Structure 1
Amino acid sequence: MAILATRPRQGVTAGQGLQKMVRIGLMTSPKSLLHRRELMAGLGAAALLPIWPAIGSAQGRAALALQAKADAVALRPGAPETPVWSLAGSEMRFKRGDTVEVTLANELPQPVALNWRGLDGAASVESLTARAPLAAGVKETLQLPLRHAGTLLCDLTLLGDGQARPSRARALVVRESETVAVDRDEVFLVEDWRLRPDGSAIAPGLDPKDAATVLTANGRLSLDITVRTNERIRIRFINGCQRSVIAAKIENIDVRVMAIDGQPSEPFQARNGALVLPPGGRVDGFIDVTAPAGTTATILVHDGKEARPIGRLIVSGDPPVRAAPLSPAPPLPSNGLPARLDLKGATRAELALGGPQGDWVPPASFAATAAPAVRTKAGRTVVLALNNRGATPTVFHLHGHHFRLLDRLDDGWKPFWLDTLAIEPGQTQRIAFAAEYAGRWLIESVATDWAAPRLVRWYSVE
């Protein structure tokens, strides 16, 4: 499940409420999702000259240089920084319609493969199916077409299991071509780390044993966001954790959900300001600051074990941005995904997750010569039944396309798009997507356990 809006019972602490949200969010049942009338509530027009001006629809060209290299991050107060790997480079903010020329230099002692989350229709940059891993000491250039506006994620997780060091993720922001009524646009990227007693970090796919868990926001142990009264902030919440489903909550602040996994949703209020995100999940929330100057709201993240303060929203003493709060924002501009899906004529398949690996393989062993999990024609609807046969929750990620989460009877779907879904043990969830883009695309599966292997298959759109 990508997001959840559930108010904790009276008398339940914030930490207990978030823990319950993580547990319920994994169930991904229709009962745990918002009813449509809740999603439709509160739509209205905003009157505001935004900080992001309207941008022409003509395509632009931009350049981005990335280096997969050794890095370090401060994970222990007062102690030396912990060696990790990262994707170094300039800020990744572009606009819809841009084609970005990405130059990637691999300065690590092992091959790397970029993993793009939310990038639809870019078959030529798809790692493993279209591009071989980049060898150590080698540089390559690729063209990145940004068809959709939204919040995307780029990381090195495909080949990250069992390596010498864990790696950091990078947010990729693609702005809308149209006017969006916000004063500021912030990224809040949560990542988790497992630290040995000597301070070294353990890569995923290895047994962490007694390693301590550390969470960071934008690479910091605590991130402060300073705001002004009556200001509207767009916060792009991203779960960059390796395996953990998280619940994020800003105490005493209302969050209006505007997009999920990089695609606009019907706006709705997240109850109690809480969101549940699977690993790789993204939620764009609008926050209208109504608190007076001097107010501080703690940002809590629950990783399924405990709630941890990871940042603060601080209302400064500067004068209010405007005399009164803004009206509720209208929906974000559509990216053009289809309004309806033809389920009757769909290509259908069942994928078993968890349990015996079967046709699932580690990314390092992947070969596109194996039979695809699904083969379909461009323009067809694909319906997948995802059956988690494992003993722990499993996270499913679809490359190349976004999907709808279907109702139990296949008679409709939830009013938002996803590319990542967490499924409880013994549960089956059905999803559907329009196979719009020809190519060979990856499917990922990983259990919510630090030591669990990341596994992949692929599907073909012809």
Structure 2
Amino acid sequence: MASAQSAALALRCKADHLELKEGRPATAIWSLGDQPLRLKRGDRPEISLTNDLSVPVSLNFWGIDGAAAAEPLLARPPLKPSATDRIALSLRHAGTYFCDLALLGDGAAQPARTLPLIVSESEPVVADRDELVLIEGWRLKPDGAAIAPARDATGTTAVYTVNGQRGCEIAVRGRERLRLRFINGLQRQVIALKIEHHNVTVMALDGQPAEPFLARKGAFALAPGGRADVFVDIAPGAGNTPILMHDGEAAQTIAQLIRSDQPPARGEMLPAPTALPSNGLPAKLDLKSALRVDLAFGGDQKDWLAPASFAAATAAPAFRVKAARAVVLSLTNRAQTTSTFHLHGHHFRHLDRLDDGWKPFWLDTIAIDAGQTQRIAFAAEHAGRWLCETVEARWSAPRLVRWYSVE
């Protein structure tokens, strides 16, 4: 049997079903399976991917820095029906990640699920439990069929699931510390999450450790594809607690922390959590000598292409940079709605307005309001060709891509 460090994993792109509406037959979808991938930092899994669907697919890993050989559309062409590919990953970072089929999912016959990838730390982490909270959204027609993103959503109803279920309950004890790994698997929506009555400490964003900070009133936001690891310290006198999600239109309960009849986990609350073990990202970025690039999207920007028509051989790169140099991107959203920008290959810092510092966390995805400009910076550590993606916060909006090169 192969060791965990060189484990072989088999994934299949297949037709599947979810129970999305009470009293109706299960809804047809596509999936990569319903069991999260759980590995350890330092593992080097070899993933075999078989396409049982009738259309080409492209597997996209969110947040796995430096995996140039796995980069979709650039290193890996779309996988044809009935074909199998083998992808070797090196998991140099612990964190909360996922893979999906969204790159070629626009306008598809069925929407597809997200498959979480949890990479545990080598060092012990002080938490009693580690729970996944994968939030996904679906648009259902009156007949109960689900439509894929980039299709007209007129007349459809939004339905949300947590870990593939319409509801989720997590049993808790007083003075217990939960590590909740939130993944915003919604294709187009920025969401706000809220857990009241308990201390909620944000420990990691987009898979990378952050300087721990208390979520104000237990609330935090996630862009589409965004992740947050939060520690929730259960107050001894609190009862059942809803986990609320606001989707831009209304707040609703998507999960519940259910108070157990068991005695408290300990006599006293645990002290405030310390930072998660570092993944070794650079402590400083040399912004003075950074390559500076203006990158606009939305509106009438013609350089962004649909993934189905993208070819690096004919598409000009957004920029080229020498390895080890810092890059500052000025991202301008010219669309009429909020848009999401996702960077492949590297995590980045969100810069302060005056270019005199950055937020105390790393991201790989950022939401930018209509007409706004935000600046990000990263160290171009990993040689290769990498995608960047953008999509507006509308179900019918197309996903678009460009690419950049680290040489």
Smaller-chain TM-score bracket: over 0.9
Alignment partner of 1:305 is 2:249: yes
Of 304, 318, 321, which residue of structure 1 is paired with 2:265? Answer: 321
Output the amino acid matched with 1:211: T
Check conservation: 2:63, 2:345, Cα contact below 8 A: yes
In 2: Cα distance, 1:152 partner to 1:299 partner: 21
Of 255, 274, 288, which residue of structure 1 is paired with 2:219? Answer: 274
Kindly state the Cα deviation for residue 170 of structure 1 after the two structures are TM-superposed.
1.1
Q: Deviations over 1:1-57 (max 9, x none)?
A: xxxxxxxxxxxxxxxxxxxxxxxxxxxxxxxxxxxxxxxxxxxxxxxxxxxxxxxxx
Check conservation: 1:254, 1:271, Cα contact below 8 A: no
Alignment partner of 1:88 is 2:40: no
Check conservation: 1:65, 1:89, Cα contact below 8 A: no
Alignment partner of 1:416 is 2:324: no
What SS does structure 1 have at the residue aligned with 2:317? coil
TM-score by length of 2: 0.97
Task: Give the 5 Å matches for 1:25-424.
Answer: 60-88=5-33, 90-292=35-237, 295-369=239-313, 370-424=315-369
Check conservation: 1:67, 1:89, Cα contact below 8 A: no
Kindly state the Cα deviation for residue 357 of structure 1 after the two structures are TM-superposed.
3.4
Check conservation: 1:372, 1:459, Cα contact below 8 A: yes
Kindly state the Cα deviation for residue 260 of structure 1 after the two structures are TM-superposed.
0.6
Check conservation: 2:236, 2:264, Cα contact below 8 A: no
Q: Deviations over 1:119-178 (max 9, x none)?
A: 000000010011001101111111111010010021110000000010000111111111
In 1: Cα distance, 2:85 partner to 2:147 partner: 28
Output the amino acid matched with 1:356: D
Alignment partner of 1:425 is 2:370: yes
Q: Deviations over 1:385-433 (max 9, x none)?
A: 0011111111000000000011112121111100000001111111100
State the aligned residue count: 404
Q: Deviations over 1:97-133 (max 9, x none)?
A: 1001111111111011111111000000010011001
Check conservation: 2:34, 2:115, Cα contact below 8 A: no
Output the amino acid matched with 2:269: P
Output the amino acid matched with 1:269: L
Residues 292 and 78 of structure 1: is their aligned pair in 2 closer, same or farther, counting only changes over 3 Å?
farther
In 2: Cα distance, 1:197 partner to 1:222 partner: 21
Kindly state the Cα deviation for residue 77 of structure 1 after the two structures are TM-superposed.
1.2
Instruction: Indicate the percent of aligned positions where both proteins have the same amino acid.
Output: 59
Output the amino acid matched with 2:25: P
Higher relative contact order (CA 8 A, sep 6+): 1
Check conservation: 2:29, 2:112, Cα contact below 8 A: yes
Please list every run of at least 4 consecutive aligned residues from structure 1 whose deviation after the TM superposition is greater than 6 angstroms.
none
Q: Deviations over 1:56-111 (max 9, x none)?
A: xx992222111110010011012211000001164301110100111111111101
Check conservation: 1:187, 1:237, Cα contact below 8 A: yes
TM-score by length of 1: 0.86
Check conservation: 2:197, 2:235, Cα contact below 8 A: no
What SS does structure 1 have at the residue aligned with 2:69? helix
